[in-house]
Chain A
C-alpha cells in the first residue's frame, strides 16, 4: 500500500492569490503520478499524469512539478478564482503493479 501524504489538508485563499500544495510519496519503484480535481458529489477530473523526474505540466492557470528522487510533487494555481475551489487529489503508481491510491487531498476554498 502506498503511503501518500498531501499538505496542507485545507487552504483558504482570496481571489487572485496564487497558491501551491504538496503531494509526498515513496520514491522507490515510482512509475507515474496523477493529479485530480474533485468537486464534492462529482466525479474526480483528471488534471495531469507525470512520469519523469523534473516533469512540469501546465493546464491554464494550474501547473505541476515532479521530483521522483525525493518523492514529491507540487501543484500550483496562479491567480486563484472561486471556480478553482475543490479538493485536489494526487495518486502515485508503482512500476510493479497497477494499483493507485489517493492521498487525502487538499481542500482549496477561494473567496471572492
Chain B
C-alpha cells in the first residue's frame, strides 16, 4: 500500500535561518507531488508541484523553493526564513496520469518563524 511521510511535525526557526522540509512517498512510482501551505486564518495555498524528477512548477513567487532529487522525494527549502513563512505545510501526492484519484496528504509540518 502507498504511504506518505512528512517531517518534521513541528519546527520553530529564527528569522533568517534556512529551512528544509522533507516528504517521501512509498509504494508507488512517478507520483505527482505537491506542497501546500495554510497561513493563519487562511485556506490551502498551492506552493509547488512536480510531475517528475527535477521538474518543479511554482504557483506563487515567494521566499521558498522546492526540489525533487528522487522520484518519491519532495523537499521544500528556504535560504532565509521570513516571519511570513510561518504556517502549516502539507505535502500531498496523486498518481500520475488522468484518473479520478484525489490527493493523499502527509501529516503536515507546523512552522513557526520567530
Interface residues of A in 53-112 (CB under 8 A from B): 87, 89, 91, 93, 95-98, 100-105
Q: Which of A41, A51, A98, A101 contacts B108 (CB 8 A)?
A: A41
C-alpha spacing A101/B108, complex, angstroms: 18
B100 and A32 contacting across the interface, CB-CB below 8 Å: yes
Task: Closest A residue to B107 by CB, please name it.
Answer: A43
Known: A41-B88, A41-B110. A98 touches B44 (CB 8 A): no
A98, B94: Cβ atoms under 8 Å? yes
Q: Mark B68-97, 1 if CB is under 8 A from A, else 0.
A: 000000000000000000001010001111
CA distance A100 to B11 in the complex (A): 28
Q: Nearest residue in B to A94 (C-beta to C-beta)? A: B98
With contacts A104-B43, A105-B43 known, is A44 near B98, CB below 8 A?
A: no
**B110 vs chain A, min Cβ distance (A):** 6
The residue of chain B having its C-beta at the shortest distance from the C-beta of A87 within the complex is: B43
Interface of A is mostly: loop
Decide: A95 and B43 in contact? CB cutoff 8 A. Answer: no
Chain A, residue nearest B100 (CB): A32
A-B contact count (CB 8 A): 57
With a cutoff of 8 Å between Cβ atoms, the chain B residues found around residue A102 in the complex are 43-44, 46
B96 contact from A41, A51, A98, A103, Cβ within 8 A = A98
Are A49 and B103 interface neighbours, CB within 8 A?
no
| C-alpha spacing A98/B51, complex, angstroms | 10
For B90, the chain A residues whose CB sits under 8 A away are 43-44
Q: Contacts A89-B44, A101-B46, A102-B43 hold; do A42 and B100 have CB atoms under 8 A apart?
A: no
Given contacts A43-B105, A95-B98, A105-B43, 20 further A-B contacts (CB under 8 A): A34-B102, A36-B102, A40-B88, A42-B108, A43-B108, A46-B102, A46-B103, A49-B102, A51-B100, A89-B43, A89-B44, A91-B103, A96-B98, A98-B94, A98-B97, A100-B94, A100-B103, A101-B46, A102-B44, A102-B46
